[in-house]
Structure 1
Amino acid sequence: MWINAKAPSLADLEQMAHEMFARLPGEFRSLCEDVIIRVDDFATEEVLDELGAETEFDVLGLFQGIGLPQRSSQDVAPMPNMIWLYRRPILDYWAEHDDSLGEIVRHVLVHEIGHHFGLSDDDMEAIEAKADELAED
């Protein structure tokens, strides 16, 4: 089975991210209509420097834009909010942990969306728990 196995491509991981997003609670998803999800192999050097990352494997995802708590009616045509998932660090994390790749992608996605909403870690854990419940139904 593993002889012909390949790591998921950027497109595969982006499709998985959209599938994981679709499994999140509906009330949560409805608030994310303007968020664009993208996947790249690694964060840019600029992002790594800005975050103080020691290596390119330290950053699994990034919310880029203006979070809901910081938005103002005075904002002039802001760029779209984006969530970046970084394939190689996610795959590296997956190789070192017992979680499924889908669970890791969902976790990173919820964490980055949480930045969009200004949510606490407890709020994000509750969203993931609700997603688990929905998956069991």
Structure 2
Amino acid sequence: MNRKYAPNIAEIEALANDTRMRLPPEFIEKALEVVIRVENLPNAVFLAEMEIEDPFELTAVYEGIPLAQKTTADQPQSPDTVFLFRRPILDEWASRGDVSLAELVALIIVQQLSHHFNWSKSDIAEIYKWWA
């Protein structure tokens, strides 16, 4: 990638959405129900909830009720959402140097969707094979 400027919020969001569409078919419909929001940095509430002081240490957060825990009695206040934080993602990408930005965003999205789908680490390893 030969660029003068770092990828913007819309470009990170496009990479995340592309990842959802490349999931195994049986997961796409439910994954599309999760809103993806990209922000430059996490806000103070997320940092406090995660007990993190440095905003560059938090690349993403899943906020919602995992599918396995949802009931018909649940009255959602807001849709399940994955928040991606652009600046920490770009910092991790630059410091790693061993993956493309698309690969890093895909890994982060799969990890965050694992909370929604209640995937174990072995489930993630199996599902993430589609990327290779």
Alpha-carbon contact 2:40-2:85 (below 8 Å) kept: yes
Matched, 1:127 2:122: no
CA spacing shift, 1:131–1:24, aligned 2, 3 Å: farther
CA distance in 1, matches of 2:76, 2:106: 29
For the aligned residue pairs, the C-alpha RMSD in angstroms reads 1.5
Name the SS of the counterpart of 2:79 in structure 1: coil
Match of 2:26 in 1: 27
Identity %: 35
Offset of 1:65 from its aligned partner? 1.1
How far apart, CA to CA, are the structure 1 residues paired with 2:74 and 2:24?
Answer: 29
Q: Which segments of 5 or more consecutive residues in structure 2 lack a partner in the other structure?
A: none
Structure 2 residue aligned with 1:135: none
> What amino acid is the match of 1:74?
A
Preserved CA contact (<8 Å) 2:13 2:36:
yes
2:62 is equivalent to residue 63 of structure 1: yes
Alignment of 1:73-88 (within 5 A): 73-88=72-87
74-83 or 58-67, which moves further after superposition? 74-83
SS at match of 1:63: strand
Moved segments of 4+, more than 3 Å: none
Does 1:11 find its partner at 2:35? no
Q: Structure 1: which 5+ runs fail to align?
A: 133-137
Deviation at 1:31, TM superposition (A): 2.5
- Counterpart contact for 1:25–1:131, Cα < 8 Å: no
Q: CA deviation at 1:77?
A: 4.1
Distance 1:105 1:64 in 2: 18
Shift of residue 29 of structure 1?
1.3
Distance in structure 1 (CA, Å) of the matches to 2:40 and 2:121: 26
Q: CA deviation at 1:87?
A: 0.4
Partner of 1:49: 48
